[in-house]
Copies of this chain bind each other. A is one copy, B any other.
């Protein structure tokens, strides 16, 4: 997984049928992801983030590159994905906006989940993403059903669902991917092997030689790719997406990467080897490697990238300012949208005068 030296790639043709504009857009997205998380970390340290903060440092590349392989439209006719907590990059790639993410983390009333759900747990069917819930694995069956409906309706749309190395141990993952495979649903399952599930190393999660090896147990196609090589991830994802779109069913792609931060901000990472983290940072940072590929291959100039960086910073400053100006939700909102039958009853003892018959 040694970093490819610019030399080796010099004057290479752009792979996977990508154009220069797309390469730059992918750069913008991965940069946006990392910078947004850095902003969030700042806000977290200022106690402006409510609840935990989850970094995807070192994994942003695969999030962006895999989602980039989807048909991204924003009008409800494109592909659909469901991310994990560390797939901020996938969300931004398919259309989530930084200001939405900041509002979510700051529990604002105008955040997509209106303060009812946290961090990147939010949904937009038109843009093509379905927010996960905390119980791991549950979105695999759900996305299998999304893909089933594409098949039922004869739509050439594809679903993509992300699952961590740890979450592959859940019954939901198993039942969902088996269902999708036997029904030949157009679904791509990205297994993110970042080496850790909270403090649990992969070897304590499963005795399987690889996660790709699980595919055969479902009759799904398998692929495995260096998760910090954005172009490789894009290539693998693109192929799987096209397979699915062509009606050839489920592909499980193992993307190997590394979680350089703790599970969340509170996690000291005491159980991790600092040298290992350093090595990944030095030799396999997805952004560095992508920049090296872009510049080393003459696909982009340092100046172009610097411009993008400036634009990203400006966008994020604006997003944070906007989010900070956002109001917290109205308490009453706690009662809305439980069912379609209107707000649920409020507490009788908060009435004036209190009246239990009105409960």
Contacts and interface: CB of A to CB of B under 8 A. Distances in A.
A2 interface: no
Contacts of A178: 169, 206
Nearest to A215: B217
A170 B206 CA distance: 18
A204 interface: yes
Contact of A214 (B169, B204, B206, B217): B217
Interface string A170-213: 11111100110110100000000000000000011111110001
Contact of A207 (B169, B175, B209, B218): B218
B181 A171 contact: no
A32 B149 CA distance: 50
Interface residues of A, number: 28
A249 interface: yes
A182 B170 contact: no
A176 to B, nearest CB: 9
Interface string A197-239: 0000001111111000111111110000000000000000000
Contacts of A207: 181-182, 184, 218-220, 249
B218 A208 contact: yes
A205 B217 contact: no
Contacts of A209: 216, 219
A108 B170 CA distance: 40
Contacts of A204: 182
A262 to B, nearest CB: 23
A204 B172 CA distance: 19
B169 A181 contact: no
Contacts of A181: 206-208
Contacts of A214: 216-217
A215 B173 CA distance: 16
Interface in A123-172: 169-172
Contacts of A219: 206-209
A21 B353 CA distance: 87
Nearest to A172: B171
A228 to B, nearest CB: 25
The interface centre, meaning the residue of A184, A203, A205, A214 with most chain B CB atoms within 10 A of its CB, is: A214
A295 to B, nearest CB: 40
18 contacts: A169-B179, A170-B175, A171-B175, A174-B174, A178-B206, A181-B206, A181-B208, A182-B207, A206-B218, A206-B219, A207-B218, A207-B220, A207-B249, A208-B219, A214-B216, A214-B217, A215-B217, A216-B216
Given A171-B172, A178-B206, A213-B216, 14 more contacts: A170-B174, A170-B175, A171-B171, A171-B174, A174-B175, A181-B206, A182-B203, A184-B207, A206-B219, A207-B219, A207-B249, A208-B216, A213-B217, A216-B217
